[in-house]
Structure 1
Amino acid sequence: MTGTGRRPRGGPPRPLGVVTRGTTNPNRLRRVDNWIAVHCADLLRAAPDPLVVDLGYGATPVTAVELRARLARTVPNVRVVGLEIDPARVAAAAYAADPPGLTFARGGFELAGLRPVLVRAFNVLRQYDEGQVRAAWETITDALAPDGVLVEGTCDELGRLASWLLLDRAGPHTLTLAARLATLDTPATLAERLPKALIHHNVPGQPVHAFITALDDAWQAAAPYATFGPRQRWVRAVTAVRDAGWPVRDRPKRWRLGEVTVPWAAVAPL
């Protein structure tokens, strides 16, 4: 991260962070967007100003456009601001702006002085050292509106494998793993897309490794259910993991989408 975050006299806060690689694709973030639309809709609807920030949207504004469209289905008055440190990317996104529902601005972890209810930061912290993650979380969550949340995670280039954390000022609350079940070979591949705070802890003796191993073992044991399709196999695997004592959240309706969510306390590094 670069910069001090001090507000220049008479100007906006100095952007905190570094320019990301900017790789993006249409529908890359559909899994996390749809999860946010369900799990965070009440929070957004209750806010006087349901402002959402797409932090580090990349070389093109497509993810911000899609986020606004998906959230507007359940929160019609939602506002989305795409933030990028690179001013060239902000200028290039101008064609996609649709004020007041969708705008673009220059900013980083300090959120450009905004007070959003929700921030989605995807594939941003992946390029940082693990030791920098906590400071980035704190900078972002300190800038949120009261009761605001951060959804931070990563995914592959096509959005077929993804994981994310839900955080607030108190820290992480949940970890969600999500996959396109039709192309999922084994849940172990999800380890490649763990958030930065967890990816280096996927080793024996660490809780996140134990969880992914349990999910992978349950997936293999549920192979006979593949006859009924990958959704039935996944639901069977998640059910087995829950029955084994893992505190799995949500109901089969969400599991059938290729999701599984557990409390952060169950997978936090030792």
Structure 2
Amino acid sequence: MPPRRPPTRPLGTITRGTTNPNRLRRVDRWLAGPQSFRLRRAADPLVVDLGYGAAPVTAVELFARLRAVRDDVEVVGVEIDPARVAAAEPLARPGLSFRQGGFELPLDGRRPVVVRAFNVLRQYGEDEYAAYWDEVRGRLAPGGLLVDGTCDEIGRRATWAAVGADGPSSLSISLRFGAFTLPSDVAERLPKALIHRNVEGERVHAYLRALDKAWLDAAALASFGQAQRWRTMCASLKSAGWPLVDGPARWRLGEVTVAWDAVAPR
């Protein structure tokens, strides 16, 4: 996909800006874990925190976490609101900077290997998100990834879609043990591409119902801990034919990732 010509003004609208320390720890753990190969292989280890909000804490945390993967990583926090950019400037340091912009990614022609956009697209209409996905996809480095996700205010419930140059490849769900009754409690935090599709006849609805059933079927294992019950749930889904793309090492964290085709809107 050829790079797009930069627009004359930032693409997108200002978010509510709500953020909290450690809110995005679950997706950061995924980026620094099973997705770390993207950063290690990158010719230019550039990462964007798109729409970081009223405070730059998530960009600062992302920088610290990814430096454990590659010490020459560069994180750029991008915000439409110039006041938020100005407020973040005192926290800039070598490898961490802040710029005004939106989905056009004001990076002077450089292509990021990862763009994390969390709690950004949920404010847009269902008819809008795909165009913004395309805008960002067209600006990724080879093998790059857009991570479009949503979480609750303190990061206990999170989901994210992994979107590459060819489109979305997976959906991840990550839940803190003790912060849910059923896995489907995360439904209100689904990405914009799926949140309105959690209805009878849609794939994501069937997936959440399958998660709930497997979770309830594993209730006898609760005495051994919620992590053991979650791992059993995931193993049951995989045996039933759901195309899970991760394994026990991730499951024990309250995380599970499924191929996008299994949940894609009909």
The TM-score bracket by the shorter chain reads over 0.9
SS in 1 for 2:178: helix
Shift of 1:39: 2.4
Q: 2:203 corresponds to which residue?
A: 207
> Is the partner of 2:241 in helix, strand or coil?
coil
| Structure 1 segment 64-213 matched on structure 2, within 5 A | 64-99=59-94, 101-113=95-107, 114-213=110-209
Q: TM-score, normalised by structure 1?
A: 0.94
8 Å CA contact 2:6–2:104 kept in 1: the answer is no
**Residue 6 of structure 1: CA displacement?**
6.1
Matching of residues 35-50 of structure 1 within 5 Å? 35-50=30-45
Give 1:40 shift.
2.3
- Runs of at least 5 residues in structure 2 that lack an aligned partner in the other structure: none
Match of 2:22 in 1: 27
Which one has the bigger helix percentage? 1
CA distance in 1, matches of 2:253, 2:6: 44
For 2:189 and 2:168, locate their aligned partners in 1 and report how far apart those are by CA, in whole Å.
17
Instruction: Look up the match of 2:221.
Output: 225
Runs of 4+ aligned residues of structure 1 deviating over 4 Å after TM superposition are 5-8
Q: Unpaired runs of 5+ in structure 1?
A: none
> C-alpha distance in 2, partners of 1:68/1:40?
15
- Deviation, 1:205, is 0.8
Identity among equivalent pairs (%): 59
CA RMSD of aligned residues (A): 1.3
CA distance in 2, matches of 1:220, 1:40: 30
Q: 2:247: which partner in 1?
A: 251
1:183, distance to aligned residue in structure 2 (A): 2.2
